[in-house]
Amino acid sequence: MRRTPSTSPGARKRGVSRAVAGALTAAGALLVSALQSGPAAATGAAAPDRTGTGASAAAGFWTAERMREATPMDLMSAGTEAAVPRTGTGPDTAAPAVPRGTERTVRPTLPGGTPAAPAPKAFPQKGAAWTGGGAVTKTAGRVFFTYQGRTASCSGNAVTSANKSTVITAGHCVKMNGAWHGDWVFVPGYHDGQAPYGKWAASKTLATPQWTASENINYDVGAAVVAPVGGQRLTDVVGGQGLAFNTGYNKPMYAFGYPAAAPYDGSKLVYCSGNTIKDPLFSTDHGLSCTMTGGSSGGPWFTSFNEATGTGLQSSVNSFGYTFLPNTMFGPYFGDDAENLYDEAQSS
């Protein structure tokens, strides 16, 4: 969505949407230090024109240095004139109702079974490095791509899927300002420039119809189908988290991502946890107290999260925040459209 520069410290925390001027930030919940780090941080490293390159070429492009230098997507378009969402397509002044379909859950596909969940030890949490281990340290990862000729980053998560090759992320992490991103790769378990489980290049990226057509923030959900690496498919290597659709609001949730804007640096997996709210303002999204910054966009939100195993049911992604409501992340409701996107991706 449109984010315009401002001279006031409070406004520099986050961008501004044309649909709700002065209120809605870009996805990924940009915080003060994120946009105060100067023009260099908001510019991104230049990338060559690689339109049409194959999966292996895209993976090879992302060296450790390029991954470390990639700018969070949420900062890449700060100050641009392109509007996402455009007037009339974003959150209305009265939050619309989300049509409720049939509740559906998809279980994680991980070896060893799932023991009973222990009493929460990391709940609530507004933002800290995840030290609990478990499956999430392999299924969650950073997303890298080129945007307007520069290198950029988001977060994503591997999920149970028929093709064993599906990654869920935010819509703006696959398409922004009318253009689909290039050189798109998913790096599960990323740590400080390292790709311990490989770099998985997208053979296809897609998003909900509402995001594809008009970049409507209520439907900021994207997906990628990644090509095999070394003859293996993604979830055979890292496993896949479960999913949940049409499960309602006000749930205990855990959010994960790789925030790369200060005070974070993108080198490690960070999480927030707490009881969510339904956005009382302009969107139909879930809200969660969280200090994650730019780069965390697209990271997974889980219900029924088991701290002992690091498994859960993905029910949203990091998406956006409001200028006047600091340290709160919002994520889209996983309803019928998110479910249809998942089914389309897993059948590809």
Q: What is the pLDDT of residues 146-168, one digit of tens each?
A: 998 899 999 999 999 999 999 99
CATH topology of domain 1-348: Thrombin, subunit H (2.40.10)
- Residue 13: the pLDDT is 30
Q: Hey, is 45 helix, strand or coil?
A: coil
pTM, rounded to two decimals: 0.80
Separation between Cα atoms, residue 265 and residue 206, nearest integer Å: 28
Asked if residue 250 has pLDDT above 90, the reply is yes
- 118: confidence class by pLDDT, cuts 50, 70, 90: low
- The predicted-structure confidence for 10-53, as pLDDT tens digits, reads as follows 332 333 233 333 344 443 333 222 222 222 233 344 444 333 45
CB atoms < 10 A from the CB of 294, how many? 36
Q: Report d(CA 304, CA 172) in Å as an integer.
A: 26
pLDDT digits (tens, 9 = 90+) for 267-300: 999 999 999 999 999 999 999 999 999 999 999 9
From the list 290, 273, 329, the residue with the least C-alpha distance to 121 is 273
Distance of CA 8 to the CA centre of its chain: 28
Q: Which tokens sit at 229?
A: 């690496």
Q: Dihedral, CA atoms, 267, 200, 181, 315, nearest 10 degrees?
A: -70
| Helices assigned H by DSSP within the chain | 9-12, 32-35, 39-43, 55-61, 64-69, 73-76, 136-139, 209-214, 234-238, 336-346
